[in-house]
Amino acid sequence: MQDLRSAGEEEMIETALSLGEKAFRGRQLFQWIHGRRVQDFHEMTNLPAGFRLKLQDSFRVSGVTIIEKQVSRRGDTAKYLFALPDGNVIESVWMKYHHGNSVCISSQVGCRMGCSFCASTLTGLTRNLTAGEMLSQIYETQRETGERVSHVIVMGMGEPLDNYDNLLRFIRLLSDEKGLHISQRNITVSTCGLTERIRDLMRESLSITLAVSLHAPNDEIRRRTMPVAAKYSMEEIFAVCRDYFNATGRRITFEYSMIRGVNDREEHARELAERCRGMNCHINLIPLNEVKERNCLRSVDPDIERFKLVLEKYRINVTIRREMGSDIDAACGQLRKKFLDQAGCNPDNPEEVKR
């Protein structure tokens, strides 16, 4: 059955026409699904009953269902474990900031990038999420909290640029003025640095923020934690990031997860700073969220502070990520992994998930 939540307005118009309805019925359908975020065709009361029945027969509006919600002690972060229609499980994080509410969404079930510190990749890639499934994570957290989402970050489970077409469809629907209408400036996509895809993205005329996961000052150290570093050198990544800025005018964010004894020395900070010279970028230092299956440790606070000071001496914009929700398994893929372990589930066969 075709999923309408991934469809754009033009496609809904075509659907209406193909079912013998006028074009404006397609526009109404879009308004219901993305403007009012209704899933059940029966609730779409201004559509003729016959049309609704036909839709019911051949289409569905995909959604996610909450399996579990964990709220941090301070109440400013909530982690959702969601079930997809096929029984797969993903997670999203809702965060309350003074400037509004952000949702961090997953782009794939699992991930195939294999970073050695990350929980999302432990079970490999199961499948890509559709645009509708990415949107549903935002629609559902907004419905459940009753609070408007203003910022979206694609930094949950998965490598978004490894699911490129669905990601683009998602961004366009999310920023559609007839949908949730989230400004593209408030959408951040994080990638481990798939340079060909960054070049494609550059040509899409989007004003989103691109975040690139570096986690190292040079290729040698990067290859120790990120298998993808064997394919793309830091030189290539920096070249594409410079081009991205020149083409879009959007400042790049570099993410740098701080792993004790691996990438957190003063000389690493200097080497990183040298690479960023003359570049309009922002570095986000992330204290590693330790994952029990991984033997990487979080850098100690004085080392993180010192790293930041060195970068500041080079006049680089740098922040240390606030550790929201570390008490609720907020690192990518952690909550899902725990759920799969408890359910005794074989990740290659999600049907086995016991509810």
The residue annotated as part of the active site, out of 241, 276, 281, 332, is 332
Are 289 and 316 a contacting pair, CB within 8 Å?
A: no
Are 226 and 115 a contacting pair, CB within 8 Å?
A: yes
Are 82 and 66 a contacting pair, CB within 8 Å?
A: yes
220 a catalytic residue: no
**For residue 182, what are the contacts with CB-CB under 8 A and spacing of at least 6?**
149, 150, 151, 152, 174, 175
Q: Tell me the closest approach of the beta carbon of residue 253 to ligand SAH, in angstroms.
A: 10
Q: Tell me the closest approach of the beta carbon of residue 314 to ligand SAH, in angstroms.
A: 21
Q: Tell me the closest approach of the beta carbon of residue 310 to ligand SAH, in angstroms.
A: 20
Q: Which is nearer to ligand SAH, 15 or 190 (CB)?
A: 190
The residue annotated as part of the active site, out of 21, 91, 159, 255, is 91
Q: Tell me the closest approach of the beta carbon of residue 129 to ligand SAH, in angstroms.
A: 13
Q: Which is nearer to ligand SAH, 34 or 222 (CB)?
A: 222
Q: Tell me the closest approach of the beta carbon of residue 106 to ligand SAH, in angstroms.
A: 9
d(CA 131, CA 118): 24
d(CA 49, CA 303): 65
Q: Which is nearer to ligand SAH, 8 or 114 (CB)?
A: 114
Q: Which is nearer to ligand SAH, 28 or 299 (CB)?
A: 299
21 a catalytic residue: no
**Of residues 54, 45, 73, the one with CA closest to residue 325:** 73
Residues that bind ligand SAH (CB under 6 A): 113, 115, 117-118, 155, 159, 190-192, 213, 255, 257, 286, 288-289, 291, 331-332
What torsion do the CA atoms of 333, 336, 339, 343 make, to the nearest 10 degrees? -110
Q: Which is nearer to ligand SAH, 26 or 158 (CB)?
A: 158
Q: Tell me the closest approach of the beta carbon of residue 173 to ligand SAH, in angstroms.
A: 20
Q: What is the largest CA-CA distance in the chain?
A: 69
Are 252 and 281 a contacting pair, CB within 8 Å?
A: yes
Q: Which is nearer to ligand SAH, 15 or 108 (CB)?
A: 108
- Known catalytic residues are 91, 332
